[in-house]
Amino acid sequence: MEKDKIIQTFSAIFTGADEHNWTKVQNAMAADVLLDYSSLSGNPAATLTSEKIIDTWKGFLPGFDRTHHQLSEFEVEIDQAISTIHCLGKADHFIGKEAWTVEGTYDAELELKNSNWVVTKLAFHLTRLTGNTTLPSEALKKVSAGN
């Protein structure tokens, strides 16, 4: 049961991002999150507020016509009020008929706070990029232009 809650909380970050439901994303995160997407972005891991993470995603993801995140093969460990999760992840990003796909694994840590699990650490480990690699810059341009 508790493992299901952990998976549901972790997954809410990605379903919320696909839906642009930023409240759903926020509710799944602690106030501060150690975020490590260095294998994809080249930027070093950093502790950021959940608001900063969401603001960054708001400035990028809506530039795609749609996105679809798929998570699978969850491994969850629980040690009292701390849990870890490892899973495979695939994110498809679409503009028109073009797609950009990012694949890898996620490692996260969640803490039990006020009877709810929240993500405190989130790391993505890139294994494969496919599709139109110019789509991220096109998405940024669309968001900047207000489209």
Structure confidence at residue 145 as a pLDDT band (50, 70, 90): confident
The helix/strand count (H/E) of the chain reads as 5, 6
d(CA 119, CA 32): 9
Rounded average pLDDT over 64-70: 98
pTM: 0.94
The pLDDT tens digits for 76-118 are 999 999 999 999 999 999 999 999 999 999 999 999 998 999 9
Cβ contacts of 68 within 8 Å, gap of 6 or more: 18, 91, 92, 94
d(CA 141, CA 147): 9
For domain 2-144, the CATH architecture is Roll (3.10)
Please tell me the total number of residues recorded for the chain in this structure: 147
Sequence ranges of the domains in the chain: 2-144
The pLDDT tens digits for 26-57 are 999 999 999 999 999 999 999 999 999 999 99
* pLDDT exceeds cutoff 90 at 147: no
* pLDDT exceeds cutoff 90 at 1: no
